[in-house]
Chains A and B, each alone.
Chain A
């Protein structure tokens, strides 16, 4: 006679073994199906690629190639095939690819998903239609910026950025910064997808056309809309900083006058962004007075001002750089010493003298920078 407790234990073990076996079966079947699907896609891709390249070359016309794609209803496969080309190509090859996507109903399918799909389908559609630079979908994507779902705001912003419609930069910036949990860096990265074409608009905003940003200036429509969620309040200067960073990232020289116009009134953080943009652009405005920033109370401003010195080569600022060798902040001392090293023989003499001088901080940083440059001090 088996002990009833042992019997229960046996049943539990058998049940567990059955569950584990079933789970393993599900995993193995799933992996098998994925691999079969991948093989099928690979085979299709190979066939499509041959046809597509001949189409781009003009050996096949639109109708002929569309015929070969028309039976494929797995739109996501079609998308996976075309996506890298749409990302990398421009000009006539891009136009031909887009025309093909339209002819085989890929655009129509995702336009329908953008309007009537579920959350995830809408997000996918926004990304795809953006990459296809599909102008007819701009309004639909803009409406997603008002969504309460962050995924949709992100997808719509990216889609709009890729669509090349620069005028949608401001609504997207507003939605990303005000209504999502994206960090400043995350939002800036998405907005960078707008590319240099959006730079003239950003300059106009920095020059005072604040009404370009929905909810600011004349257009109060967004501000009036009571959102069902209010995640954070963004400081207005954040918008300036994002645009200053992007203009630096695009190395947009034409922004220099606008940046110069802002810097005298800017708060310390914005000042840092502007000086960093000068560094990225590789140039400072002709009338930029570096000296006052080398003496700025905020150490980060002094630090980047020392770095920007090489763009000006201003000999009159050298006494201030020498003063900064004794700055309380190590980075400021380091960048001042680096700037002096770049000032040529005069700077080298100053560093050598300071390295052997009585001031502990300036002696240490001068020796350090000289040794990094391989300059040996005389004993």
Chain B
């Protein structure tokens, strides 16, 4: 039996987090849901995960800080950044820090899943 790939969903909005997780589960992934930056970093460093969807604006530690710390330890881990359009400077910074892709809200969850699949397929 093949092991399910694990995706870390780091998103502080509970409704959106549930929605992304639900759609990923329906696609056959196992999901770890976290709602703030500290939890995200902890899970990213300590759990065996295949990819992260990372919101930029999160409590305690923002997505950029999480990405910086994750990249120092796991340089090849696929990361898709999620953010609102008005934080575009952060998005550029995230790409410079090694995020594989980004999506701006509002977005289509199917496109996010498609992006994750592409990145995981090529990594």
Contact = CB atoms under 8 A, between A and B. Distances in A.
Query: Looking at chain A's contact residues, is the secondary structure mostly helix, strand, loop, or mixed?
Result: helix
A166 to B, nearest CB: 15
What interface size band does chain A fall in? 10 to 19
A249 B16 CA distance: 26
A85 interface: yes
Contacts of A195: 85
Interface stretch (B45-53, B62-70, B102-110): B102-110
B33 to A, nearest CB: 13
B106 A56 contact: no
Contacts of A53: 18-19, 22
* Centre residue among A91, A249, A251 by max chain B CB count within 10 A: A91
B121 interface: no
B15 A91 contact: no
A90 B108 contact: yes
A49 B18 contact: yes
Given A57-B23, A57-B26, A92 B106 contact: no
B13 interface: yes
A88 interface: yes
A251 B88 contact: yes
Contacts of B22: 53, 57
A93 interface: yes
Contacts of A90: 106-108
B13 A94 contact: no
A66 interface: no
Contacts of B108: 89-93
What interface size band does chain B fall in? 10 to 19
A88 B18 contact: no
Contacts of A349: none
B106 A89 contact: yes
Nearest to B20: A88
A84 interface: yes
Contact of B106 (A57, A88, A192, A196): A88
Nearest to A92: B108
A85 B85 CA distance: 16
Given A57-B23, A195-B85, A49 B107 contact: no
A39 interface: no
A311 to B, nearest CB: 15
A87 interface: yes
Interface in B82-123: 85-86, 88, 105-111
A88 B26 contact: no
A85 B86 contact: no
Contact of B105 (A87, A192, A249): A87
B109 A89 contact: yes
B106 A84 contact: no
Contacts of A84: 13, 15-16
A200 B48 CA distance: 47
Nearest to A83: B15
Nearest to B26: A57
Contacts of B26: 57
Nearest to B19: A53
Contact of A88 (B86, B88, B107): B107
Interface in A325-359: none
A49 B15 CA distance: 8
B110 A56 contact: no
B15 A85 contact: yes
Contacts of A56: 19, 23
Nearest to A89: B106
B14 to A, nearest CB: 9
A84 B106 CA distance: 10
Contacts of A89: 19, 106-109
Contacts of B109: 89, 93
Interface in B12-71: 13, 15-16, 18-19, 22-23, 26
Given A88-B13, A91-B111, A195-B85, 10 more contacts: A53-B19, A56-B23, A57-B23, A85-B15, A85-B16, A87-B106, A88-B16, A89-B19, A249-B86, A251-B88
22 contacts: A49-B15, A56-B19, A56-B23, A57-B22, A57-B23, A84-B13, A84-B15, A87-B105, A87-B106, A88-B13, A88-B105, A88-B107, A89-B106, A89-B109, A90-B108, A91-B108, A92-B108, A92-B110, A93-B109, A192-B86, A196-B85, A249-B86
